[in-house]
């Protein structure tokens, strides 16, 4: 059953449980992010007809997609009436190439390390994509919008951290949103682990790939610290976020 904008952290789609509104998150200055404008999500391939009606009622106008071409060719988003623009900012999904191999090898440590390395790699090699992401959100007239990757947790999770930082949201609230992914993704994680177990593998080995964890963020923040000083410096100087425009547009 769909829930339409009833709470900041309640998903509104049946076919994509990690779809959620950033509206209602408080900034340090006491204002709130406006509801119904900024959404984060995993892919929209398995959404239902009812979900499409929900998104149409939301007035969804733009999709920013961080998936690589092979990802969106394999699992294309369903068409959503009213969407005027789809912007592709591909961030290559390197862990996918190794995760299946490590499961076959029963390589638990390799799987644990994959996303630690991935978060560092994203910081070092994809600043242009995240700069463009923040630019589109500040300037593009097509709102409401959703930004997404495949699972909506890592590439999208980092994008959300950068956006919330630019909007003046405090660290505690930023981390609260990041870790809520584990609540929304738990049913999907159980499903994937169950499938692997049925195929004769140790499905539990995949759990690190299906969750967000502090060590992943630590890897990203360490890469930021070593090159840019701190998160704020990275967001405002390297990614060239425009806090004045973003706050005027999305805070109330």
Domain holding 37: CATH number? 3.90.190.10
Judge whether 58 and 79 are in contact, CB under 8 Å.
no
Evaluate whether residue 201 is within a structural domain: yes
Above 80 in pLDDT, residue 71? yes
H or E segment at 187? helix 186-198
Nearest to 208 by CA among 125, 101, 103, 67: 103
Evaluate whether residue 2 is within a structural domain: no
The pLDDT mean for the chain works out to 90
Q: Which domain holds residue 146?
A: 20-250
Where residue 4 falls among pLDDT bands split at 50, 70, 90?
very low
In this predicted model, which residue has the larger pLDDT, 13 or 112? Answer: 13
pLDDT digits (tens, 9 = 90+) for 24-42: 999 999 999 999 999 999 9
Nearest to 160 by CA among 173, 149, 170, 174: 174
Across the chain, which distance is largest between two alpha carbons, in Å? 54
Evaluate whether residue 186 is within a structural domain: yes
Q: Which range among 7-11, 102-106, 178-182, 240-244 shows the weakest confidence by mean pLDDT?
A: 7-11
Evaluate whether residue 11 is within a structural domain: no
Above 90 in pLDDT, residue 67? yes
Alpha-carbon distances of 85 from 39, 62, 64, 243, rounded to whole Å: 15, 5, 8, 23
pTM strictly above 0.85: yes
Evaluate whether residue 5 is within a structural domain: no
Evaluate whether residue 212 is within a structural domain: yes
In this predicted model, which residue has the larger pLDDT, 48 or 100? Answer: 48
At residue 11, the pLDDT reads 55
Where residue 9 falls among pLDDT bands split at 50, 70, 90?
very low
Give the number of domains in the chain: 1
pLDDT digits (tens, 9 = 90+) for 128-184: 999 999 999 999 999 999 999 999 999 999 999 999 999 999 999 999 999 999 987
């Amino acid at each position: 059953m769909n829930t339409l904008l009833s709470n900041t952290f309640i998903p509104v789609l049946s076919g994509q449980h990690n779809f959620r509104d950033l509206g209602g998150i408080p900034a340090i200055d006491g204002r709130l992010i406006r509801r119904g404008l900024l959404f984060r999500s995993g892919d929209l391939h398995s959404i239902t007809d009812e979900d499409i009606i929900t998104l149409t009622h939301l007035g969804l106008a733009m999709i920013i997609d961080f998936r690589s071409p092979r990802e969106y060719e394999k699992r294309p988003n369903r068409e959503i009436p009213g969407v005027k623009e789809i912007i592709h900012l591909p961030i290559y999904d390197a862990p996918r190439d190794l995760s299946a191999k490590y499961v076959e090898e029963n390589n638990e440590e390799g799987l644990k390390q994959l996303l630690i390395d991935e978060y560092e790699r994203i910081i070092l090699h994809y600043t242009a994509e995240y700069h463009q992401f923040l630019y589109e959100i500040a300037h593009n007239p097509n709102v409401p919008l959703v930004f997404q990757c495949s699972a909506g947790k890592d590439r999208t999770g980092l994008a959300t951290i950068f956006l919330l930082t630019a909007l003046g949201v405090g660290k505690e609230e930023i981390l609260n949103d990041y870790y809520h992914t584990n609540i929304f993704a738990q049913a999907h994680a159980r499903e994937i682990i169950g499938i692997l177990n049925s195929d004769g593998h140790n499905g539990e080995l995949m759990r690190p790939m299906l969750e967000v964890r502090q060590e992943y963020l630590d890897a990203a923040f360490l890469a930021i610290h070593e090159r840019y000083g701190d998160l704020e410096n990275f967001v405002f100087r390297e990614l060239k976020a425009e806090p004045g425009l973003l706050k005027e547009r999305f805070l109330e």
